[in-house]
Every structure is written in structure tokens, then in C-alpha cells.
Amino acid sequence: MTKKHLLGSSILLFLLFLCLGTMIVGAWVVFLVGRGATMSETQEYVVKGPFTHMTVTNPVGEVKIQPVTTKGTFSVHIRKRVRDSWLGDRSKMRRVLDTMRVDVEESNGELRIRVQRPPMADTLRSVSVDLLISVPEHIDIDLTQEVGEITVEEVTGVLHIKDGVGSIILDKVTLLGGSTVDVDTGNIRFSGRLPDTGTVRLATGVGSITMALSPENAFALQTSTGVGHIKVKLPTKTYDSKGSLQLEVGKAPTATLVAQTETGSIDIEVKQ
């Protein structure tokens, strides 16, 4: 092999290694920038109580409400979190974390929790607050959130829940008359009991509604969907429909269940 050929092969090999190295470095940069940097902070409030009503306002995050494990001890666990790229300004992330407020107030049997984001939070990739709230078994709840999942477990009360984007999960919950559960984009999953009297309304814009109900419930059912399928499974019969379905479940019902979706299915099962 001539010197000319050797020189050409060396140059080609050098270019191949250069391209490979550039690709590896680029991949790491994309990975690190894409993964980003996170700062977080936790707080814990022990609430004196007792209280019978709770109001929660949270722009972005996850909210979980559960019954207390120790009698008479109610608590609010808060996790604040900010995220930006690895190339982001760490001092700004820290300022956002420090100035993001979570107000917890008690007054006249009511617990109020309000998350307030500083204006500069919108300049970061992600700013959120997760709330884990332990409450009495019987409590009325008003909860509003813009983005994030909401979970409520094993409580009884009048619930008014509004979510912009995110799923709503009600597990072993007893909804009393006047309760409303509404999400613009996301699914609703409910298991538990309906009231003996009064109206309960569940609605989604884009998303499905799934319910597993107690066999002791008697209710008038009103369902409708713009684009989707409706299925109601009773112990003795199953109903399938498109568009809308109305029927009475149980004997002489004095409660009404309204389930509505614009785009999404509705599945209801009354357990035996």
C-alpha cells in the first residue's frame, strides 16, 4: 500500500472517529439538557382541627386526600418542586422555590390551603406543588387544580372537584347530594357509594368515566356522551348505548346520578 493510500485511510479514520465523538458528545448534551435539573423542598403542617370543610387551590401538582391514621391528628404534607434545563439559572430556580407560598389556614371549622406561584415560575420548565392531606372521615371538600392528578380516598362528604388537565380518582368515597366532579381533559374513576337523596354529577370534556357502585344504591341514572360509548352493568342486566341513556336503578330511587362526557366512554357497574 502506498503512502498516499495510507494517508487517505488515516484521514478517513480520523474523520470517522471525529464524527462518532461529536455524536456521543451531542447525545450526552441532549440527554443532560433534556433531563434537566430539579430542586425540591418539603414542609409539614400538623392541623389542630377539628374541621368539617376544606378548600384547596393548587395550580400545578398532585393532590392526594386520605383519612387520618391517628385519631385527631390531621396533617398537610407539602412538596415544592422546580425544574429547568442543566443550562438554566440555578439562582432563579432557588428564588422561585423560596418565594412559592403554600398558605394553610384554619378558621371556624374550615381548613384552607392555597398555593401561590411567583410570576417568574412561568419562565422555568416546570414548577409544581404536591399535597398529601390527612383529613377526618366526614368532610366537605372544594378542590380546584389546573394541571395534575387528584386522588381522594375513603371520605364521606359533599365534594366539589374541578381539574383542568389530569385524572381524578375517588376510591371508596361516599358522595353526598350536591357533589360535582369535573375535569376538562382527563379521566374520572369512582368507586364507592351515592347519596340516599340528592344529585351527584360527574363530567369530562375529553376523557372517560368509570364507576363501580355499591349494590345498596338506588338512583335515577342520566348519562350522555357526544362521542363515545355508554355501558351500564347491573347484577341482572347490562345496558349498552350511544349518545345517551336514562334508567332507574334499584327500588323507588330518590337520588340522581348524572354522568356526561363530550368525547369519551362511560362505564358503570353496580357490584353484586
Task: Tell me which residue of 231, 253, 250 sits closest to 240, measured CA to CA.
Answer: 231
CA gap 123, 189 in Å, rounded: 34
Question: Residue 43: left if φ>0, alpha if ψ -120 to 50, beta else—which one?
Answer: beta
Q: Say which CATH topology domain 37-136 has.
A: Pectate Lyase C-like (2.160.20)
Q: How many CB atoms within 10 Å of residue 54? A: 24
CA gap 60, 127 in Å, rounded: 7
CA gap 70, 135 in Å, rounded: 10
Q: For the chain, what are the domain ranges? A: 37-136, 149-272
What's the pLDDT at 14? Answer: 58
Pairing of strands 74-84, 37-47: antiparallel
Tens of pLDDT along the chain (272 residues) come to 555 554 555 665 555 655 555 555 444 444 444 446 888 889 998 887 778 999 999 999 999 999 987 666 789 999 999 888 766 788 888 888 888 999 999 888 899 999 998 888 888 888 889 999 999 899 999 999 999 999 999 999 999 999 999 999 999 999 999 999 999 999 999 999 999 999 999 999 999 999 999 888 899 999 999 999 999 999 889 999 999 999 999 888 999 999 999 999 999 999 87
Sign of CA dihedral 81, 85, 89, 90: positive
What's the pLDDT at 129? Answer: 94
- Per-residue b/e over 71-104, b at no fewer than 16 CB within 10 Å? eeebebebbbbbbbeeebeeeebeebbeebebee
Q: What is the pTM of this model?
A: 0.84
Cα 224 to the center of its chain, rounded Å: 23
